[in-house]
Amino acid sequence: MAEISRVLVANRGEIALRIIRACHEERLEAVAVYSQADRLSPHVRAAELAVPIGPAPAVDSYLNMGRLIEAARSTGCQAIHPGYGFLSERAPFADAVARAGLVFIGPPAAAIVAMGDKTEARRRMQAAGVPIVPGTTQAVSDAKRARYEATRLGFPVLLKAVAGGGGKGMRLVHEPAELEAAFQAAQGEALRAFGAGDVYVEKYLQRPRHVEIQVLADTHGRVVALGERECSIQRRHQKLIEEAPSVALSPALRRRMSEAATAAAGSVGYVGAGTIEFLLGPGGEFHFLEMNTRLQVEHPVTELVYGVDIVREQLRIAAGKPMRVHAGTLNPRGHAIECRITSEDPFNDFLPATGVLRYLRVPSGPGVRWDGGVEQGNEVTLFYDPLIAKLIVWGDTREIAIQRMRRALRELVIVGLPTSQAFHLRVMEEPTFQRGELDITYLERVGPALLAPEPRAEVVRPLAVVAALLAEEQRAAAVPPPLSDRPTVRPSGWVDAAVREGLRE
């Protein structure tokens, strides 16, 4: 068993902080790393030690394998947690960490490789009895072969990059006449994005849900599924809202999808936390899409409904300990929703924004969890992804969770840069969302009406919030009047402004 007492957290922002907190609860010391742009970030101060690893661009810092391994070595770490993004799914990094005599807190490199090649993943899943989307399990050599396969499957089809994932190198083809051009385009895009142009063919599934199963596997041969997350609310392959459980799953379907997911993980010798993505049809038919061989952004919704700390389990598993989760005892309790609060302007096509976080009021109270990575005074740049924080709520029922999210979103105040806050509030109030009628086209269909430009709001919002802040400050500074003079009901500039902005009723 690897003796681990100190962990290098090879990431930044909210997930670095999340991992550092898990380390501390697991009685481990944490070592942070930071780029020049992140020297004032909260994750740096949360860790026992912090190592500068280079300039702001990720290629010079958070993607620099040598620097990270050297940072771990020089500070006496025994393990490296990669978080998500950056180096988390790079098999060469997992290998390099192991060669340096350190524990990679993630799956064996071989599992990353197997799942990274999308046709190999499909072959493995097929062999393990996991239903895959109809299509080829090998790359197709040319457009003529692709047309043959597409005709066999029936149009429309999707051309996908073998080295792909996350939507890059993907082309939808409606009819044979489009195939030649789409094939060239997919191949070219895949070559540029992944350095490998191989493409394969899948039947295109119309309007499925994106439902994924969380799995945990330890080195003692145990593999468990922690139910599903409903992730259909996404935009350009970026998830914006996730929830658990999915309204589309009966206990029987949950059991079947969980069995498929544990079979999938088991078949590649998986260890640690991983996620099996499925497309789920309206009749309950599900098909393997891909496996994410890392901790995911949306892991908290699973934690809240299963009562499991997934990051602490990752740390235990990496140390060779048995996981504290037992398959037979797992059922979701209540409902959890996560909204990704990003520095993007929903009223301007989600344009990423930069600026200084001038003021931040974080929601709290019953059933509210804030997994944040920046604090007041921090600057948000374009060097990294736009996630400021994840706002996660839990409630007994989905309705209660939605009400709680609305309340929490209204408590949240961010001044200094546009965020996705108002967008989330509008989704929470949207009838088809409230009925749980979701599929991967939800935002395409509902988004435009939800985000109809409101020039007044855009101009007034920052002014209103700043005015409210000044009013708050003045009130706080003022000497309170004698009791008898005090009005029983005090008009609140904040409330007026917030009502106008739709931040409260």
Residues that bind ligand MV4 (CB under 6 A): 133, 158, 165-167, 202-205, 210, 234, 237, 279, 289-290, 440
Q: Which is nearer to ligand MV4, 158 or 305 (CB)?
A: 158
Please, which residue, 166 or 377, has the CB nearer to ligand MV4? 166
Return all residues near 317 (Cβ < 8 A) that are at least 6 apart: 216, 217, 218, 219, 271, 272, 273, 323
d(CA 148, CA 201): 10
Q: Which is nearer to ligand MV4, 290 or 309 (CB)?
A: 290
Which of residues 123 and 321 has its CB atom nearest to ligand MV4 in the complex?
Answer: 123
Determine the Cα–Cα distance for residues 294 and 115; give it in Å rounded to an integer.
Answer: 11
Taking the least distance from each CB to ligand MV4, the nearer of 280 and 401 is: 280
CB of 4 or CB of 115, closer to ligand MV4: 115
Q: What does the block give as tokens for 230?
A: 């409903």
Q: How far apart are alpha carbons 286 and 281 in whole angstroms?
A: 6
**Number of CB atoms found within 10 A of residue 476's CB:** 7
| Phi, psi of 267, deg, nearest 5 | -70, -15
Is residue 319 classed as helix, strand or coil in its secondary structure?
coil
- Whole-number Å distance between alpha carbons of 29 and 23: 6
Nearer Cβ to ligand MV4 (240/308): 240
Least distance to ligand MV4, CB of residue 205, Å: 4
How are beta strands 171-173 and 199-203 bridged, if at all? unpaired
CB of 232 to ligand MV4, least distance (A): 7
Contact 325, 226 (CB under 8 A): yes
- Report the 10 Å Cβ neighbour count for 127: 11
Catalytic residue among 147, 254, 294, 404: 294
User: What does the alpha-carbon distance between residue 489 and residue 245 come to, in Å, rounded to a whole number?
Assistant: 42
**Helix extents (H) in 215-345:** 251-267, 299-306, 310-318
Is the distance from CB of 14 to CB of 378 less than 8 angstroms?
A: no
Q: How far is the CB of 10 from ligand MV4 (least distance, A)?
A: 24
Give the shortest CB-239-to-ligand MV4 separation in angstroms: 8
Angle at 107 between CA 102 and CA 109, to 5 degrees: 75
Is 152 among the residues known to form the active site? no
Cβ-count burial of 141 within 10 angstroms (0-12 exposed, 13-18 middle, 19+ buried)? exposed
**Whole-number Å distance between alpha carbons of 425 and 430:** 9
Q: How far is the CB of 72 from ligand MV4 (least distance, A)?
A: 32
By annotation, the residues acting in catalysis are 294
